[in-house]
Amino acid sequence: MNLTPALTRKLAPEQPLLKTQRLVLRPLALDDAPTVERLAGEKDIASTTRLIPHPYPPGMAEHWIGSLPELYAKAEMINWGIVLDGGLLLGTIRLTLNPVDNHAEMGYWVGKPYWNNGYCTEAARAVVGFGFDKLDLERVYANYMARNPASGRVLAKLGMIQEGLLRRHRRKFGRYEDLIVCGITRAEWQAHKRQMATASREPSSPASPQSTPAELPPKICGDDG
């Protein structure tokens, strides 16, 4: 009798590439370590994530990237580098898999020089779609610190809804942070895709003067991962 969870059996032997209009999501390589170390070394990146320290220790990126193939082989986690079509690494995104309950937690960060370009949303939409359409997940969820509403806007664009507030749940830089939990189910994702497809066929309306890019607050691309 095969007791291997169905999610584990759906993973390909080699981690797949995901492509969007502007991005390629690919496995990270050891050659990416200097770029990861440089981008993740920004205090503003570490400030809104759980696992990224500041200062960022030399050699940490190389050690972390070296551990990823085993995590994929064990069906524990899938990490992608977020790369512009020309090859420039912008950040990373992941799914932490739970084969027993058939769901996954998503986490991501994008380097500070690349904020305010929609890369977080574009990459996250591809990863959520992969989780539901290829792995047949029942649920995908993500967390973000309450003081980082930009990450919440990214999740809302994916159709995620706020499911809870964990008060003083994270300790970062000696400070306790409220954590907001958002999620989306497979049925909700399918409805969201239909809604997006319908919206894309409708004529666009003129932009409201109150929502011009110059008036929007700076976007911090990071989550609790």
For the stretch 192-220, pLDDT in tens is: 999 989 888 877 655 444 433 333 344 45
For residue 203 the two structure tokens come to 């004529």
**Long-range contacts for 46-50 (Cβ within 8 Å, ≥24 apart)?**
47/172, 47/173, 47/222, 48/109, 48/144, 48/145, 48/148, 48/151, 48/220, 48/222, 48/223, 49/107, 49/109, 49/222, 49/223, 49/224, 49/225, 50/170, 50/172, 50/224, 50/225
Neighbours of 132 (CB within 10 A): 22
**Span of 6-20, 128-142, 173-187 with lowest mean pLDDT:** 6-20
Q: Give the domains, in start order, of the chain with CATH numbers.
A: 13-200 (3.40.630.30)
For residue 183 the two structure tokens come to 């999620």
| Residue scoring higher pLDDT (82 or 4) | 82
pLDDT at residue number 202: 78
Helix (H) or strand (E) holding 183: strand 175-185
Mean pLDDT of 148-154: 92
pLDDT score of 24 more than 50: yes
Amino acid at position 107, single letter? G
pTM of the model: 0.88
pLDDT at residue number 215: 34
pLDDT at residue number 211: 37
For the stretch 72-90, pLDDT in tens is: 999 999 999 999 978 999 9
